[in-house]
């Protein structure tokens, strides 16, 4: 044959969506929470964000080099992991701990299991939980936010609203919505997190199945077992407190570590809601989102197995 | 009533503007005509001419090789030059009759039917069978077999597949605009076979001119109705079309007739009309010659057997160097490595692309984003099925309903990691089905 053209199996066209573009959307969606965190907690927060991202990207690059694998840092997934991990760190954490956390997240949780797409646990949360267990003190002391400092309140450390709730004190839910509270760098402002979440939903990156199932289940759990009856203020404080919003929209929805089946996503959200409720209300610690998510990550293969969708023509068409 | 549709599907660039305003032009071949003996599903046809024979246009040159098979007719006059294996669209070598075209197009006489309504059902099916008509949308299933279901009285829906959901294709669109009376005529013939059926023309709403024209034409026909459909690929897939119009859902182990439906493509219905009314066998079809690499995209009425290279010339030749040549549309068509391949009864288009989007992207690891699950019209999980295919896990492939795949390619299109999902699933489907037959 004189003329030889490209031959491949159909289809012959592809959409413009790529893995790195999706990762870029997630990074953009995390910017409001990141910027608010920097505004709220100051220069050290910025430093931690930069260091954690660098640690993650460098770890992936080095791992690929040492194990002679194809370079993958261009897919931006290490940047997403670094940014998410940083947003889950207290703003006063010593910088070297951030490096350790980033390296653990990328090398142990992600690369050793085969890299992008193969890890069974959310790398950022794996890194956070590793730090939480290893350096419990620095990981659970939260500096006051700019707002508190300007009020002349204790600038070194104070209780998060969740810890206050647990101790039976009342909290200001408006402050929690805006983010004028102590907490990790990226979790304090519900509004900033939601702006990013809405962007991801509009861009078609995430859908509402997991976050909605998670939040609704958790709210019901708190109403039933929180011991406060139908106290809406208490429920709203729980929803806005800690890492629930950041976790529900940005970490529970992590593609790799959540079910692929539509029904599985809803089951996953319900499991998350129940576990978070148990950990927060009956557990020793005030927070439970991270543990709930990494524990539920382990259940994903089981959830998928029992939620194989019905195909078209066998009940799945509706 | 809202637009008929289904769950899932994609919206690729449709490219129809390249050729949609080009009226159908009849083109005559200059070179040899090649007729593969297998251009339908079922047994290959048996040649009834020998090398050296003179044949006329419209003369039968190969007889059906069984009930599920179809005869083949010469589309030009000339001398039988050879009966030998020739390269076909899918890349195989298939035994073919080669006719040296004498350029005269001397034709046999066809017998016209004055009054179709006087024909019995058997006579109609006989004429369709004799004319060598097969499903011209791509599958090539012999039409007389489709029109002979076990329980004809249970057929309630005759569906004309006018969706034309494949990007770039405009042959059905032009047919509907230019010869709607033949399409309606074909539908009426089929309605005559099924006493309890009504006919529905399923047309995507990106063809409003066809919808209004045909709606106007059938307004006094109590048994024919136009159903506008949402524009979405693969709306023209048989199962999805049946669902959009009748709300009945069939799976891989069922035939449309099991749901009381019969689906025929636009060109097939026109061929049915030509066969029953004018006694003409299947010799022509509409082929869209299009793509960024074609100088003057066109819709041709082509003599079946014409070489693709001639069609490119007739469309003004290439506009720059094409990278990929596809017989059919970009979603389900076949890429060919050369142009010296004949058109057949199922050739709907020749698409010449200047860019190969498949080669442009390197497949990466699955990130489990579930986009393939969202778009899959069969509601299965392409990403997992492709894994099971790569790992040769037949049991899991079947458990996750891999055999329900309709091979539409939506999953490969949408995948951000650019995995060849449809390819992997198709390959595994073949293996599983072959192993089932062995048992």
What are B426's two structure tokens? 């198709």
B175 in a structural domain: yes
The C-alpha atoms of residue B108 and residue B55 are separated, in whole angstroms, by: 9
Count Cβ atoms below 10 Å from residue B74 Cβ, excluding itself.
28
pLDDT over threshold 70, residue B100: yes
- Mean residue pLDDT of chain A comes to 91
Identify the residue whose tokens are 């010593």: A94
3-state secondary structure of B355: coil
Question: pLDDT by residue (tens digit) across A23-52?
Answer: 999 999 999 999 999 998 989 999 999 999
- Least confident residue range of A139-143, B40-44, B255-259: A139-143
Q: Which of B278, B300, B321 is the last residue of a domain?
A: B278
A161 pLDDT band (50/70/90 cuts)? confident
A176 pLDDT band (50/70/90 cuts)? confident
Model pLDDT, residue B311: 95
**Contact check, Cβ <8 Å, A10/B330:** yes
**Contact check, Cβ <8 Å, B401/A311:** yes
What is the separation of C-alpha A161 from the centre of its chain, rounded to a whole number of angstroms? 19
Residues A245 and A297 both lie in one domain: yes
Instruction: Count the residues in chain A.
Output: 318
Judge whether B366 is closer than 8 Å to chain A, CB to CB: yes
**H or E element in which residue B190 lies:** helix B180-193
Judge whether A80 is closer than 8 Å to chain B, CB to CB: no
Mutation for B interface: A10, A60, A201, A316, most B CBs within 10 A? A10
Which candidate, A176, A150, A129, places its Cα nearest to that of A290? Answer: A129
Identify the residue whose tokens are 């469309």: B315
Q: Could you tell me which chain B residue has the CA closest to the CA of A316?
A: B379
A228 in a structural domain: yes
Domain harbouring B230, CATH code = 3.40.50.11540
A14 in a structural domain: no
Contacts of B409 in chain A (CB under 8 A): 10-11
pLDDT over threshold 80, residue A318: no
B305 in a structural domain: no
Q: Is the dihedral of CA A292, A294, A298, A299 positive or negative?
A: positive
**Contact check, Cβ <8 Å, A6/B335:** yes
Residues A115 and A211 both lie in one domain: no
- Nearest CA distance, B86 vs chain A (angstrom): 13
**Contact check, Cβ <8 Å, B379/A317:** yes
Judge whether A117 is closer than 8 Å to chain B, CB to CB: yes
Following DSSP, what letter does each residue of B62-126 receive, concatenated? EE-SSSS---EE-SS-EEEEEEEEEE-TTS-EEEEEEEEE-S---B---PPPS-GGGS-HHHHHH
pLDDT over threshold 60, residue A153: no
The C-alpha atoms of residue B249 and residue B234 are separated, in whole angstroms, by: 15
Cβ-based contacts under 8 A for chains A and B? 180
- Least confident residue range of A63-77, A124-138, A174-188, B253-267: A174-188
A99 in a structural domain: yes
B54 in a structural domain: no
- Scored b (16 or more CB within 10 A) or e, A133-142 reads eeeeeebeeb
Residues B132 and B242 both lie in one domain: yes
- Least confident residue range of A130-139, A150-159, B255-264: A150-159
pLDDT over threshold 70, residue A314: yes
Residues A70 and A122 both lie in one domain: yes
Eight-class DSSP state of B302: E
pLDDT over threshold 80, residue B161: yes
**Contact check, Cβ <8 Å, A312/B377:** yes
Task: Please state whether beta strands B60-63 and B46-47 pair in parallel, antiparallel, or not at all (unpaired).
Answer: antiparallel
Model pLDDT, residue A164: 82
Judge whether B413 is closer than 8 Å to chain A, CB to CB: yes
B423 in a structural domain: yes
| Greater pLDDT, B403 or A226 | B403
- Nearest CA distance, A306 vs chain B (angstrom): 11
Residues A46 and A113 both lie in one domain: yes
B275 Cβ partners below 8 Å, 6+ apart?
B127, B128, B130, B131, B133, B281, B282
Eight-class DSSP state of B22: S
Question: pLDDT by residue (tens digit) across B6-36?
Answer: 999 999 999 999 999 999 999 999 999 999 9
Model pLDDT, residue B369: 95
3-state secondary structure of B8: coil
Domain span at residue B142 reads 121-278
Model pLDDT, residue B261: 96
Contacts of B416 in chain A (CB under 8 A): 15, 17-19, 21-22
Count Cβ atoms below 10 Å from residue B409 Cβ, excluding itself.
29
**Contact check, Cβ <8 Å, B369/A314:** no
Residues A128 and A181 both lie in one domain: no
Nearest Cβ partner of B330 from A13, A255, A314? Answer: A13
- Mean residue pLDDT of chain B comes to 94
Q: Which of B254, B278, B302 is the last residue of a domain?
A: B278
- Count of domains forming chain B: 2
Which candidate, B289, B283, B359, places its Cα nearest to that of B329? Answer: B289
Count Cβ atoms below 10 Å from residue B183 Cβ, excluding itself.
26
Residues A105 and A211 both lie in one domain: no
Residues A179 and A291 both lie in one domain: yes
Q: Could you tell me which chain A residue has the CA closest to the CA of B362?
A: A18
pLDDT over threshold 60, residue A152: no
Residues B386 and B273 both lie in one domain: no
Model pLDDT, residue A174: 85
Question: pLDDT by residue (tens digit) across B401-439?
Answer: 999 999 999 999 999 999 999 999 999 999 999 998 887
pLDDT over threshold 60, residue B219: yes
Residues A109 and A197 both lie in one domain: no
pLDDT over threshold 50, residue A1: no
Q: Which of B230, B260, B278 is the last residue of a domain?
A: B278
Judge whether B16 is closer than 8 Å to chain A, CB to CB: no
Mutation for A interface: B239, B307, B326, B425, most A CBs within 10 A? B326
Residues B270 and B382 both lie in one domain: no
The C-alpha atoms of residue A246 and residue A122 are separated, in whole angstroms, by: 14
Q: Which of A74, A107, A139 is the last residue of a domain?
A: A139
A150 in a structural domain: no
Strand partners, B227: B202
Identify the residue whose tokens are 């350790």: A100
Percent of chain A whose pLDDT exceeds 70: 94
3-state secondary structure of B290: strand
- Count of domains forming chain A: 2
**Contact check, Cβ <8 Å, B6/A21:** no
SS3 sequence, A267-318?
A: HHHHHHHHHHHHHHHHCCCCCCHHHHHHHHHHHHHHHHHHCCCCCCCCCCCC
Judge whether B417 is closer than 8 Å to chain A, CB to CB: yes
Residues A132 and A165 both lie in one domain: no
Residues A198 and A94 both lie in one domain: no
Percent of chain B whose pLDDT exceeds 70: 100
Following DSSP, what letter does each residue of B153-175 receive, concatenated? GG--EEEEEE---STT--HHHHH
Judge whether A10 is closer than 8 Å to chain B, CB to CB: yes
Residues A185 and A224 both lie in one domain: yes
The C-alpha atoms of residue A128 and residue B383 are separated, in whole angstroms, by: 30
Model pLDDT, residue A232: 84
Q: What is the pTM of this model?
A: 0.93
Instruction: Count the residues in chain B.
Output: 439
Domain span at residue A293 reads 160-304
**Contact check, Cβ <8 Å, A14/B361:** yes
Q: Which of A139, A172, A196 is the last residue of a domain?
A: A139
B418 in a structural domain: yes
Whether the CB-CB separation of B229 and B162 falls below 8 Å is answered with no
B189 in a structural domain: yes
Residues A294 and A223 both lie in one domain: yes
Count Cβ atoms below 10 Å from residue A224 Cβ, excluding itself.
11
The C-alpha atoms of residue A34 and residue A193 are separated, in whole angstroms, by: 9
* Phi then psi dihedrals of residue B136, to 5 deg: -95, 5
CA angle in degrees (0–180, nearest 5) for A20-A26-A30: 145
Strand partners, B101: B78
Task: Please state whether beta strands B284-290 and B349-353 pair in parallel, antiparallel, or not at all (unpaired).
Answer: parallel
Question: pLDDT by residue (tens digit) across B340-361?
Answer: 999 999 999 999 999 998 988 9
- Report how far apart, in Å, the C-alpha atoms of A78 and of each of A35, A71, B52, B285 are: 19, 12, 71, 54
A313 in a structural domain: no
Q: Which value does ipTM take for this structure?
A: 0.91
Q: Could you tell me which chain B residue has the CA closest to the CA of A22?
A: B416
Whether the CB-CB separation of B70 and B40 falls below 8 Å is answered with yes
Residue B395 burial (CB < 10 Å; 0-12/13-18/19+)?
A: exposed
Q: Quote the longest CA-to-CA distance of chain B.
A: 64
**Contact check, Cβ <8 Å, A5/B243:** no
């Amino acid at each position: 044959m004189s003329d030889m053209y490209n031959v491949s199996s159909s289809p012959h066209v592809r959409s413009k969506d790529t893995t790195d573009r999706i990762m870029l959307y997630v990074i953009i969606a995390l910017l409001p929470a990141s910027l608010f965190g920097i505004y709220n907690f100051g220069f050290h927060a910025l430093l931690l964000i930069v260091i954690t991202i660098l640690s993650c990207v460098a770890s992936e690059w080095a791992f690929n080099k040492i194990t002679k694998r194809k370079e993958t840092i261009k897919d931006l997934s290490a940047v997403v992991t670094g940014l998410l991990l940083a947003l889950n760190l207290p703003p006063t954490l010593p910088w070297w701990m951030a490096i350790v956390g980033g390296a653990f997240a990328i090398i142990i949780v992600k690369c050793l299991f085969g890299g992008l797409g193969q890890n069974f646990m959310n790398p950022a949360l794996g890194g956070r939980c590793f730090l939480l267990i290893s350096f419990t003190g620095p990981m659970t002391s939260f500096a006051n936010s700019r707002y508190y400092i300007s009020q002349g309140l204790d600038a070194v450390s104070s209780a998060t609203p969740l810890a206050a709730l647990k101790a039976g004190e009342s909290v200001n839910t408006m402050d929690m919505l805006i983010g004028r509270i102590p907490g990790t760098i990226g979790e304090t402002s519900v509004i900033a997190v939601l702006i990013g979440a809405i962007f991801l939903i509009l861009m078609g990156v995430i859908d509402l199945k997991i976050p909605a199932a998670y939040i609704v289940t958790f709210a019901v759990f708190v109403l039933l077992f929180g011991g406060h009856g139908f106290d809406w203020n208490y429920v709203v404080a729980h929803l806005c407190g800690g890492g629930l919003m950041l976790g529900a929209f940005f970490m529970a929805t992590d593609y790799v570590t959540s079910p692929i089946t539509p029904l599985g996503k809803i089951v996953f959200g319900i499991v998350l809601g129940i576990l978070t409720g148990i950990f927060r209300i009956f557990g020793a610690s005030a927070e439970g989102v991270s543990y709930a998510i990494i524990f539920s990550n382990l259940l994903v293969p089981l959830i998928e197995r029992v939620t194989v969708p019905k195909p078209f023509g066998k009940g799945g068409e509706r | 009533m809202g637009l008929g549709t289904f769950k899932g599907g994609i919206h690729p660039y449709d490219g129809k503007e390249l050729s949609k305003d080009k009226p159908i032009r009849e083109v005559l071949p200059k070179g040899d005509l090649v007729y593969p003996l297998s251009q339908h599903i079922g047994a290959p046809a048996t040649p009834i001419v020998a090398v050296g024979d003179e044949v006329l246009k419209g003369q039968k040159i190969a007889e059906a090789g069984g009930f599920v098979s179809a005869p083949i007719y010469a589309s030009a006059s000339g001398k039988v030059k050879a009966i030998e294996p020739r390269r076909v669209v899918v890349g195989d070598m298939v035994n073919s009759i080669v006719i040296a075209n004498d350029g005269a197009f001397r034709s046999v006489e066809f017998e016209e039917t004055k009054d179709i309504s006087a024909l019995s059902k058997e006579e109609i099916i006989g004429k369709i069978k004799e004319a060598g008509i097969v499903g011209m949308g791509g599958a090539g299933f012999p039409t007389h077999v489709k029109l002979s279901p076990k329980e004809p009285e249970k057929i309630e829906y005759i569906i004309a597949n006018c969706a034309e959901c494949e990007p770039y294709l405009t042959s059905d669109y032009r047919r509907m605009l230019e010869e709607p009376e033949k399409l309606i005529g074909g539908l009426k013939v089929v309605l005559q076979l099924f006493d309890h059926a009504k006919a529905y023309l399923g047309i995507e709403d990106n063809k409003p001119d066809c919808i209004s024209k045909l709606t106007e034409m059938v307004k006094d026909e109590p048994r024919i109705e136009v159903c506008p459909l949402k524009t979405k690929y693969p709306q023209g897939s048989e199962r999805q079309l049946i669902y959009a119009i009748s709300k009945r859902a069939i799976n891989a182990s069922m035939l449309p007739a099991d749901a009381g439906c019969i689906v025929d493509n636009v060109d097939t219905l026109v061929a049915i009309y030509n066969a029953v009314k004018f006694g003409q066998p299947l010799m022509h079809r509409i082929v869209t010659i299009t793509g960024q690499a074609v100088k003057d995209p066109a819709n041709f009425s082509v003599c079946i057997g014409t070489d693709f290279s001639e069609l490119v010339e007739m469309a003004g030749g290439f506009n720059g160097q094409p990278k990929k040549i596809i017989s059919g549309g970009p979603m389900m068509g076949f890429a060919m490595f050369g142009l010296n391949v004949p058109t057949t009864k199922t050739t709907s288009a020749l698409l010449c692309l200047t860019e190969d989007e498949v080669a442009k992207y390197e497949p990466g690891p699955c990130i489990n984003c579930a986009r393939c699950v969202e778009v899959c019209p069969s509601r299965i999980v392409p990403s997992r099925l492709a894994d099971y295919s790569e790992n040769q896990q037949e049991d899991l492939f079947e458990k996750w309903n891999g055999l329900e795949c309709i091979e539409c390619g939506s999953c490969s299109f949408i995948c951000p990691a650019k995995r060849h999902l449809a390819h992997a699933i198709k390959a595994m489907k073949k293996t599983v089905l072959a192993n089932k037959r062995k048992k």
